[in-house]
Amino acid sequence: MKTREEFIALFESIDFEKIIDHPNILIAANFWDEERYQAARTCYRFMRTLDDLIDNHKAEHKGIAEEEKDRLKENINQWMGMLHEGKDLTPFSSGLTDTIKRFRIPLWALESFAESMLYDINNDGFATLGDFVQYAGGASVAPASIFVHLAGLQKNDSVYADPPFNVRRTASPCAMFSYFVHIIRDFRKDQLNNLNYFADEVINRYNLTRADLKNIAHGGPVSDGFREMMGEYYMITDGYRISTLKVIDDVCPLLEPRYRLSLEIIFDLYMVVFERIDPGKGTFSTEELNPTPAETRERVRRVIERLK
């Protein structure tokens, strides 16, 4: 069992400037034992590759032409073949299947994530808020479930057993909280990359269009309707925040200190952004909403210091 002093030593070894992809998850997982940390990196590399296949195409081509959809779907299916032993013999595939077996990674999470990527291929955005929430069940809840699963594994000698709680139910509130924070934080960047995560029904409710959102992202004036829309998303996010606090209180007593700490860190790092969101007066710029590496470092230090 690690002490606060040992956690501080681990904290001092982290180079916050170099953590770019999935920064909050990998910062938090730095406090795990090395074996679980590498398992997380393997799983997130797999999911990041699938995500980039779609997002990079949309950023370059302003959407997905019909003739490209079949090719991208085939790419996703090829990557999904890695989940089944013997279908792909590349070193990464072997490492992935070994990780899935040793750490009992739930296949439903990786498959659900892939389903959300297929949704991205077949659909241009979200007609309703319900469509987005369902999509987030794969795009966000699935990766978060892998994190929670790895944090909750019970190790006896060298063998892992499943967590003593429902992983999906535990991960869902925090995943939804972080994802709503994410789409607000990255509003401008996403729009500039031809990505839109705001539901058409909500956009229309405030007499806005997708073109209005694009115009604001490119530096146009932030309208009252846009602020009201962001206010609705902020309130939804706050609801998930409250649910997350309850889940953390319920689950943390079941975790070893280092894994409990990792859950509190990842939640607190999204809280940094949430606290900066100001629907009434904010500009919704990257500079306004994103903490610097130094600010992130300080927030992590505070979480460690208040660890009981």
> What three-state secondary structure class fits 221?
coil
Single-letter code of the amino acid located at 241: R
| Residue 43: partners with Cβ closer than 8 Å, 6 or more residues away | 96, 99, 105, 110, 143, 146
CA distance linking residue 186 with residue 170, whole number of Å: 25
Query: What would the pLDDT profile of 190-243 be if each residue is shown by its tens digit?
Result: 999 999 999 999 999 999 999 999 999 999 999 999 999 999 999 999 999 999
Q: CATH 1.10.3720.10: does it fit domain 18-305?
A: no
73 Cβ contact list (under 8 Å, min separation 6): 118, 121
Helix H or strand E encompassing 160: strand 159-161
Cβ(119)–Cβ(138) under 8 Å? yes
Instruction: List the chain domain ranges.
Output: 18-305
68-94: average pLDDT: 78
Task: Reply yes or no on whether the pLDDT at 1 is more than 60.
Answer: no
Q: What is the pLDDT of residue 240?
A: 98
Of residues 59, 69, 282, 100, the one with CA closest to residue 192: 59
